[in-house]
Structure 1
Amino acid sequence: MSYKQSMFNYIYPTTDNELLLYNSYGGFASLASISATDFDLIVKSLADNNIESNQKFQKLKSLGYFVTSDTDETLLCEQKYMDIVEESTLRLIILPTEKCNFCCKYCYETFEKGKMSSETQDSLIKFVRKNIMKFSSMEVQWFGGEPLEALDVIENLSNAFISICRAAKRNYTSSMTTNGYNLTLDTFKKLYSLKVYNYQITIDGIKPTHDSQRVLRNGNGTFDKIVSNLVTIKTNIKSGIPKFTIRTNFTKCIAQYIDEYIDYFSSLFSDDARFSFSFQKAADWGGNRVQNMSDNLIDNDFFMELLNKISQYKNKLDISPHSALMNGKTCVCYANKRYSFVIGSDGTIYKCTGDFKLPQNNIGYLQDGKMIIDSNKHAKWLCRNNRNYKNCDTCFYSGACLVGSCPASFIKEEKTGLCLYEKSFINFYLELFDRRYFNKI
């Protein structure tokens, strides 16, 4: 049997004759390290009838780096995409309110709509009750606005969803994107009882930089309160279940204090596996407020330098959230998935949380326990026949992104923003990940 290298292979040479390998179809679990000499020998021996007796070849083959010569990997990608799009989990991103207690300087949201009415809540509960048996499980993400400005809505809906899923013998999980200001110990305990186990909380650097970007509507800083809430939860909650991802939207100003940032947060959270970090660029997602800080935004070259700096501290902070975007299942945007919906506080149904003003994003509305969906609009988010950009099908990263990283970019016919930046910065991420994550060949 003859073999070839997978089209999804990425090979990064380091020092001392070592190669770091990544296969985008296999994802994060495929990471491997091997000597350049051994890898070259395997490649040169692919046509050898005795290649299958080579144990290192067999290990790399099991990780996806070598496939039989007749394998159509583009077809495998299509099947993988279809499996993800059609998976039978009901995913609801719910905005219990679209108001917020913050006025962040780069925020794109307009905060025009208030708290979800009891009528809309009842309609959503009715929909879940009527349809839960069609799904294998249910996942809810609480979003906003700031979801903790409407804790009563979260409590009402959560209790109903948990009860419905328990009766239907369906698994229920939930997560939350919150600014963390209202996440007191008592609030966390209530959320924990409601099965809210995963949190993303943005902290933009150390106190001076955070308090210059993420302020209350009255202009006051928020850093001390957020950090105090997290430390209090860390100290008083012993369960290993909850997970906290601290996201930082880097600007030029924040990047100047990267040493202080890493030292400060590693002193607080490096000893607790429940806390991890995600490094992002502060970006222009629309709206007027971000224009006032446009000179402080960073480009890809600047961000690459920043990641190079962070790589020197890779053992101080857990950056595992970045590994998710190396996997097809998590790399494909939720908006591609047939049974993933964003529920606005007024019952409007969207596919994406990134642009509520995009006409194609408004795909329907809730009415008396039914989702009234515009199927033509919905199909544009799911189907890939309008996504034939040059080089996508031959790109090594297509095994992870599956040309499904940002359907909104295709719908808006934008050619920027299609590729996840993890692809451009793959060398830095391979350096950032601790060697214990790599299969030693």
Structure 2
Amino acid sequence: MNRGRHRGVEARPRVLRGEHGWWFLGPGGVARLKDGHLTPDLTLRPAAERSLRERGLFDLPAYRTYSLTVLTSTNCNLGCAYCFQNVEQDTSGANRPPRIGYSRLTSGTITSVLEFAARRMAEGGMSGLGVMLFGGEPLLNPRGCRELLARAADYGLCWASMTSNGTLLTPALARQLSDLGLRDVQVTFDGDRDEHDAIRVRRTGGGTFDDIVRNMAAVTEATPLRWGLRVNVSHHNHEGIDDLVERLGAALDPSRCAIYFARVGDVGIGYGNDLEFSGDMAASFIRWQRRALELGFSVPRPRTIDPCQACSYADGKYGAVVNADGTLSSCWETAGKPGYQVGTVRDGYLPRERTEGKWISCEEFYEYAEDLSALTRFQDTVDAALLDYLSATGRLGK
């Protein structure tokens, strides 16, 4: 088996200019290169590529765990204007943008979801199951979350994660989910308190920042759960993110948190982000990452453009995204969106000729007004600086 390729899909290594030479990022790891390892057009010379391949840096690890993302509820108690599950903006100026259709995970659908996953695992030769609890807001259906994890144990559950807005997560519920296998929760912040409370707003009105931080601190005391902190960056909030990093560092346990910063993209619902992929923006990202590391947060390593288990393979062989009603979508960004269903857990995936135009990968979904080359330059600059800093501070090998 060619471990760098799955059914015609492969990872795309990257070469980045660092402070002292070059960085090679492959699916199997990171290496430092010298000028002599590259041609004038910045491709690897044959001897350098051969050496990297022999070290396994081109190898994409074989999938052993089936990746299953399940929406437990398509409802959400927040009314964020940029959400990809909105179908349009709230033209009234309130905080209730129209959303994808309502559905809620039930016991019967859980049976169909797990039986579907078992079939796919058997076909792919995988013995483990990984579950992502997703929504909407998954905790609007806590019973569905608990039942799915409890029953997934009989299907080889290896890990479980959740993407939540954090407003409904209590210590008691977190303990129940942790005991059932939940290991980490991703929570989003939209700038420091004032900016966040103007953007990440309840559909009934009112900000959420203090409630989220308070819930996270209480859950950290009560459980071993870890946190993934996504910080959305836009022209509305970028000036407050330095203060946000300091505030989170003081309020939370940074040793239990990974933090990453992401520019909010346009998902075709009329939400604009005027922040450009500029050198100044790259410098801000670099500063935020370094300060987060100094405070004890972990920052995800730069990656290759790896295949996604759910959406990079047109037959869903290695992973699936399931709406709460049991319909299948190619990726979590399109789950529940009208016209993007590619099958059901009862009947399996539709023939490929019937999913033409419906099979969307996560990297295709977000669109930027800027030239793609500007995005590439920005990301390469930020990632090279992070690798330089990790190396200089002795963190790269950890």
Q: Which residue of 2 aligns with 1:387?
A: none
Q: Which residue of 1 aligns with 2:160?
A: 174
3-state SS in 2 of match to 1:244: strand
Note the C-alpha offset of 1:21.
Answer: 4.1
Query: Distance in 1 between the 2:27 and 2:118 partners?
Result: 37
Query: Distance in 2 between the 1:259 and 1:353 partners?
Result: 30
Q: Does the 8 Å contact 2:282/2:378 carry over to 1?
A: no
Q: 1:212-223 residue pairs with structure 2 within 5 A?
A: 212-223=198-209
Q: Which residue of 2 aligns with 1:422?
A: 379
1:374 aligns with 2:351: yes
Q: Which residue of 2 aligns with 1:92?
A: 68
Q: Which residue of 2 aligns with 1:336?
A: 312
Q: Does the 8 Å contact 2:77/2:137 carry over to 1?
A: yes
Q: What amino acid is the match of 1:22?
A: W
Residue 405 and residue 148 in structure 1: after superposition, are their counterparts in 2 closer, same or farther (change >3 A)?
A: closer
Residue 31 and residue 227 in structure 1: after superposition, are their counterparts in 2 closer, same or farther (change >3 A)?
A: farther
Structure 2 gap ranges (5+)? 1-12, 38-43, 86-98
1:145 aligns with 2:136: yes
1:266 aligns with 2:255: no
> Match for 2:18 among 6, 9, 12?
12
Name which structure has the greater RCO, CA cutoff 8 Å, separation 6+: 1
Deviations 1:309-331 (A, max 9, x none): 325625434564431x4146xx4
Normalising by structure 2, what TM-score? 0.76
Larger radius of gyration: 1
Q: 1:3-402 residue pairs with structure 2 within 5 A?
A: 9-13=15-19, 19=20, 21-25=22-26, 29-30=29-30, 32=32, 43=36, 68=47, 71=50, 80=59, 87-109=63-85, 110-129=99-118, 132-133=121-122, 134-165=125-156, 171-237=157-223, 239=224, 242-269=225-252, 271-288=253-270, 290=271, 294=272, 297-301=274-278, 303-310=281-288, 313-318=291-296, 320-323=298-301, 325-327=302-304, 331-334=306-309, 335-337=311-313, 338-356=317-335, 361-367=340-346, 370-376=347-353
3-state SS in 1 of match to 2:215: helix
3-state SS in 2 of match to 1:219: coil
Query: Distance in 1 between the 2:362 and 2:101 partners?
Result: 28
Q: Does the 8 Å contact 1:314/1:432 carry over to 2?
A: no
Deviations 1:82-124 (A, max 9, x none): x65xx34221110011111111121121231221233322222
Structure 1 gap ranges (5+)? 1-6, 14-18, 45-64, 166-170, 384-403
Q: Does the 8 Å contact 1:31/1:439 carry over to 2?
A: no
Q: What amino acid is the match of 2:18?
A: Y
Query: Distance in 1 between the 2:229 and 2:131 partners?
Result: 20
Residue 159 and residue 312 in structure 1: after superposition, are their counterparts in 2 closer, same or farther (change >3 A)?
A: closer
Residue 246 and residue 106 in structure 1: after superposition, are their counterparts in 2 closer, same or farther (change >3 A)?
A: same
Q: Does the 8 Å contact 2:27/2:59 carry over to 1?
A: no
Residue 93 and residue 430 in structure 1: after superposition, are their counterparts in 2 closer, same or farther (change >3 A)?
A: same
Query: Distance in 2 between the 1:89 and 1:311 partners?
Result: 31
Residue 350 and residue 30 in structure 1: after superposition, are their counterparts in 2 closer, same or farther (change >3 A)?
A: same
Residue 420 and residue 123 in structure 1: after superposition, are their counterparts in 2 closer, same or farther (change >3 A)?
A: farther
Q: What amino acid is the match of 1:105?
A: A
Note the C-alpha offset of 1:253.
Answer: 3.5
Residue 423 and residue 340 in structure 1: after superposition, are their counterparts in 2 closer, same or farther (change >3 A)?
A: farther
Note the C-alpha offset of 1:276.
Answer: 1.8
Deviations 1:290-321 (A, max 9, x none): 2xxx3x64221153142143256254345644
Deviations 1:62-89 (A, max 9, x none): xxx9863784989x99x846x65xx342
Q: What amino acid is the match of 1:107?
A: C
Residue 227 and residue 190 in structure 1: after superposition, are their counterparts in 2 closer, same or farther (change >3 A)?
A: same
Query: Distance in 2 between the 1:249 and 1:361 partners?
Result: 26
Q: Which residue of 2 aligns with 1:48?
A: none
Normalising by structure 1, what TM-score? 0.69
Residue 233 and residue 21 in structure 1: after superposition, are their counterparts in 2 closer, same or farther (change >3 A)?
A: farther
Residue 409 and residue 285 in structure 1: after superposition, are their counterparts in 2 closer, same or farther (change >3 A)?
A: closer
Q: Which residue of 1 aligns with 2:394?
A: 436
Query: Distance in 1 between the 2:51 and 2:30 partners?
Result: 19
Q: Does the 8 Å contact 1:143/1:178 carry over to 2?
A: yes
Looking at secondary structure, tell me which structure has more helix per residue: 1
Q: Does the 8 Å contact 1:350/1:363 carry over to 2?
A: yes
3-state SS in 2 of match to 1:113: coil
Note the C-alpha offset of 1:430.
Answer: 3.0
3-state SS in 2 of match to 1:406: helix
Query: Distance in 2 between the 1:24 and 1:101 partners?
Result: 40
Deviations 1:26-47 (A, max 9, x none): 66x4255x9xxxx57xx49xxx
3-state SS in 2 of match to 1:248: strand
**RMSD (Å) for aligned C-alpha atoms:** 3.9
3-state SS in 2 of match to 1:436: coil
